[in-house]
Amino acid sequence: MIKRAYNFNAGPSAMPLEVLQEAQAEFLNYANTGMSIIEMSHRSPEYDTLHKETKDLLRELMEIPEDYEILFIQGGGSTQFLMTAANFFNKERAAYINTGVWSKKAMAEAKRYGEAYEAASSADRNHCYIPQEFTFKPETAYVHITSNNTIYGTEYPDFPKFDVPVICDMSSDILSRKVNVADFDLIYAGAQKNLGPAGVVIVIAKKAFLATANEDLPTMLKYSTFTENDSLYNTPPVFCIYMVNKTLHWIKRQGGVEVVAKNNAEKAQVIYDVIDNSNGFFIGHADKEYRSKMNITFNLADKDLEKDFVAKAKAAGFIGVGGHRLVGGCRASTYNAVPMEACQALAEFMKAYQAEHSK
């Protein structure tokens, strides 16, 4: 049997082993068609069944209200930075909560369409917390937030309520915990953290909000292109949607989102406990009340040891524990599919490394 790495990559990231095995088993012959899913027409009845079932699973697991559309769009979260602004920047300005790199990238795209301003920012303390006070200007079209910050390791413990439409980038924590979809006007999420391989974005949007979208846009930048054609205007990323379908079934078999959320909290705590009990050898980046359960970011007190720690971890089978290239340090991404066994093994490795270098 192949030895699996302890995969802590921030994205693309770990997928459930049984999902990979299912895909492997039917890769050459999907649904007794004599074809692989990657060879199949997106207009075929077999794919149509898969497409509809994937939407139904999302609606069930996330308790998505009926007045919300579910779309599958190519281009990753980065295209959504542009697409959300292009469609909904229909007043003088739009608000962004700056909690790190990804929200700043989203705001940069919005500046093409008008005044995109910070309603709040955590930049004053290197994004180690989530702002709780917000300042809005008149004629604000929407507010954009990033629910979980992969680079800095922070997440919203609870979501604030706003008097303007709310757009949320949920790429790195969708289906990792229960959220009230009705609190958001549009949610988008790249699949490659918790739902499948890179290549498809899940968009969940209130129909009434979609009705306010700008229409004087290129065809593939209009949400109406996707709503009016059930995300089938052009060839969708069929294999990615297929893998999302498999992963949603896996989440359902675990007991649903609430069980997954409980497991995620327990997994993250195993590693946070090592950081907190290390007498300062390991230093967590995020304030405790805003710690992400998906991305655990930390430094070693002795900066000279960080490269050695990452190298030794990799040699021991722990993949992806280096911090993002923009900030350095260390990071362990504990997405839904990362097993408790991997988190416990990393915790033991961290304790052993500390013991070796504290003599």
In tens, the pLDDT along 6-21 reads 999 999 999 999 999 9
For 309-345, what is each residue's pLDDT tens digit? 999 999 999 999 999 887 889 999 999 999 999 999 9
CB 292 within 8 A of CB 155: yes
Q: Is 250 a catalytic residue?
A: no
Pair of tokens at residue 238: 């069929």
Q: Is 230 a catalytic residue?
A: no
Q: Which helix (H) or strand (E) holds 350?
A: helix 340-357
pLDDT at 2 over 80: no
Strand locations in the chain, DSSP E?
6-7, 68-73, 93-98, 115-121, 140-146, 148-149, 154-155, 166-169, 186-190, 201-206, 282-284, 295-300, 318-319, 330-333
Q: Tell me the mean pLDDT in the region 212-225.
A: 98
In whole angstroms, give the CA distance from residue 250 to residue 244: 10
The Cβ of residue 181 has, within 10 Å, a number of other Cβ atoms equal to 18
What is the DSSP-derived secondary structure letter of residue 324? P
For 126-176, what is each residue's pLDDT tens digit? 999 999 999 999 999 999 999 999 999 999 999 999 999 999 999 999 999
Q: What is residue 358's predicted lDDT score, i.e. its pLDDT?
A: 85
The Cβ of residue 235 has, within 10 Å, a number of other Cβ atoms equal to 10
Catalytic residue chosen out of the listed positions 55, 169, 185, 246: 169
Average pLDDT, the chain: 97
Distances in Å between the Cα of 215 and the Cα atoms of 184, 313, 334 are 22, 51, 40
Name the nearest CA neighbour of 123 among 144, 149, 98, 156. 98
Q: What is residue 328's predicted lDDT score, i.e. its pLDDT?
A: 85
Pair of tokens at residue 149: 């910050």
Catalytic residue chosen out of the listed positions 55, 102, 206, 222: 102
Pair of tokens at residue 309: 């720690």
For 101-113, what is each residue's pLDDT tens digit? 999 999 999 999 9
Identify the structural domains of the chain with CATH numbers, from first to last.
18-254 (3.40.640.10), 256-357 (3.90.1150.10)
In whole angstroms, give the CA distance from residue 248 to residue 175: 9
CB 86 within 8 A of CB 63: no
Catalytic residue chosen out of the listed positions 173, 185, 193, 293: 193
In the block, tokens 């289906």 appear at: 175
Q: Tell me the mean pLDDT in the region 286-293.
A: 98
CB 54 within 8 A of CB 251: no
In the block, tokens 């066994």 appear at: 341
The torsion region of residue 208 among left (phi > 0), alpha (psi -120 to 50) and beta comes to: alpha
Name the nearest CA neighbour of 208 among 184, 232, 190, 230. 184
Q: Which helix (H) or strand (E) holds 307?
A: helix 306-315
Share of the chain above pLDDT 90, in %: 97
The Cβ of residue 265 has, within 10 Å, a number of other Cβ atoms equal to 13
Q: What is residue 148's predicted lDDT score, i.e. its pLDDT?
A: 98
Q: What is residue 359's predicted lDDT score, i.e. its pLDDT?
A: 66
Radius of gyration of the chain (CA): 21
pLDDT range class, residue 1, cuts 50, 70, 90: low
Q: How many residues does the structure list for the chain? A: 359
Q: Is 169 a catalytic residue?
A: yes
In whole angstroms, give the CA distance from residue 240 to residue 72: 10
What is the DSSP-derived secondary structure letter of residue 236? -
Cα three-residue angle 155-157-158, rounded to 5 degrees:
120
